[in-house]
Amino acid sequence: MENKNVKLSEVLSELKNNNANFYFFTLDTKGNPTAGIANIYEHVKVLTELGYKAHILHEKSDYKLYGDENGMGVSDWLGAEYASLSHVSVEAQQLSVRPSDFIIIPEVFATVMDQVKTFPCKKIVLSQSPEYMFELLPIGKRWTTDYGFYDVITTSQTQADHIGNHFPDAKTHVVPVSIPEYFKNSSKPKIPVISVVCRNQSDTVKLTKSFYLQYPLYKWITFKELRGLPRNQFAEELSKSFLAIWVDDLAGFGTFPVEAMECETPIIGKIPNIVPEWMKITDETGEVSLLNNGIWTNTTQNIPELIGQYIKLWLEDNEPKEILDEMVKSKGRYTETKQKEKIAEVYGKLLSDRINEIETAVKQSELQAI
């Protein structure tokens, strides 16, 4: 018993001295930029800045930090400061989990949760897209009682509520995404280019073809798909565009429209399955309504028509004022500073909860010894 208490006190000491490791299991996108992965990197970067030992954990060791002739690396699409963060891989046997450590697994990887359920560390789910919650989760299995993941970090209260409905015994923590400062309005007037981000590339093709068929008069208007661009360039293109289009039914937080609003580029978007928190407002009676910070529709069918109508208004300098005003009002809600404060608060809380957990275990051991 004394031996066990000595070990627990070692764990306590590591936790209190900031020697705990935070391993973020991350999909290797092979240089393809995605907002979800960028957000994980942001957590690791901020935790590192806050003095924690945070690592990107890949399954394989062939992840690419710097670009080569075969494509981009993390440095190219996200920035050099992200490539220089600590990266470890399971394959390279760099993962040595101690009880003082934290492992953070994205919601989609239920199989990985199953594999690590016996690890002695603290286990946390990072859920950015609740639509993927059940992708690999066997029927009847729970993150909590089956795999030992009792804490879930997510990006909005809407998602936290959704998760709570399915895993009532899980504790949810909200860390909104942040929009980097380089998402800002262009210094030049907007140009007649439409920036498009659709989860399914086929939606982009369908929308574009449909639009040109319905509005041959506007065949000179260019659609630019931003998928795959380095994030800085992505922001630059978005800020130059006079309109943005977004179709992503599975969106969790819905980063792209918020980025567009920061660039003061009006957006036409399909309302996703889970209505993002920045898209709606709840009045004092509890009634929820959509904000006018974009042009929202519940079907992709009328998007070409909405684009056509918007172009006409834009060419006449007659864009709907209430949309532009509401869009500008929505700016500044998700800054890097706010996210950093939230990361410090949430991970600090997780750490103190873990300390309390261990201290309680120590006390119980001591009581049993008596």
Partner 1 sequence: MKKSNVTVIVPIHELTEGTKPLFDVAVQSIAQQTLMPDEVLIVTPSKSETSTYLKGYDFGTVKSIVRVVENEGETDFCAQFNLGVSEAKTEFVSLLEYDDEYAKIWFKNAAKYMEAYPEVDIFLPIIADVDGNGQFIGTTNEAVWAYRFSDEMGFLDSNSLLAYQNFNIDGMVIRKSLFDEFGGFKSAIKLTFIYEFLLRMVHNDAKVMTIPRFGYKHVNMREGSLFHTYSQEMDPVESKWWLDKAKKEFYFTKQRAITYEK
Q: Which residue has the tokens 């280019």?
A: 193
Show contacts with partner 1 in window 55-114 (CB under 8 A).
none
Tell me: does residue 288 bind partner 1 (CB under 8 A).
no
Tell me: does residue 313 bind partner 1 (CB under 8 A).
no
Show contacts with partner 1 in window 198-217 (CB under 8 A).
217
Distance, CA of 335 to CA of 318 (rounded, Å): 30
Distance, CA of 239 to CA of 262 (rounded, Å): 8
Q: Residue 35 or residue 244: which is nearer to partner 1 going by CB? A: 244
Show contacts with partner 1 in window 237-276 (CB under 8 A).
242
HSE-up (13 A, CA, CB side) for residue 243? 24
Q: With CB under 8 A, what is the number of residues at the site for partner 1? A: 16
One residue of 32, 111, 222, 352 binding partner 1 per CB under 8 A: 222
Distance, CA of 102 to CA of 121 (rounded, Å): 6
One residue of 316, 321, 322, 367 binding partner 1 per CB under 8 A: 316
Helix count and strand count (H, E) for the chain: 12, 14
Q: Which alpha helices (DSSP H) does 84-133 contain, by range? A: 110-115
Question: At 87, is the secondary structure helix, strand, or coil?
Answer: strand
One residue of 81, 117, 120, 191 binding partner 1 per CB under 8 A: 191
Q: Residue 26 or residue 208: which is nearer to partner 1 going by CB? A: 208
Q: Residue 13 or residue 222: which is nearer to partner 1 going by CB? A: 222
Question: What's 254's DSSP letter?
Answer: -
Tell me: does residue 327 bind partner 1 (CB under 8 A).
no
Helix axes 255-262, 35-49, angle to 10 degrees: 70
Q: Residue 191 or residue 288: which is nearer to partner 1 going by CB? A: 191
Q: What angle do CA 68, 72, 73 make, to 5 degrees?
A: 90
Give the distance from CA 266 to its chain's centroid: 22
Distance, CA of 197 to CA of 278 (rounded, Å): 18
Tell me: does residue 220 bind partner 1 (CB under 8 A).
yes
One residue of 3, 17, 69, 219 binding partner 1 per CB under 8 A: 219
Q: Which stretch binds partner 1 (CB under 8 A): 74-82, 112-120, 183-191, 339-347?
A: 183-191
Minimum distance of partner 1 from residue 294's CB (angstroms):
22
Binding site for partner 1 (CB under 8 A): 187-189, 191-193, 217, 219-222, 242, 314-317
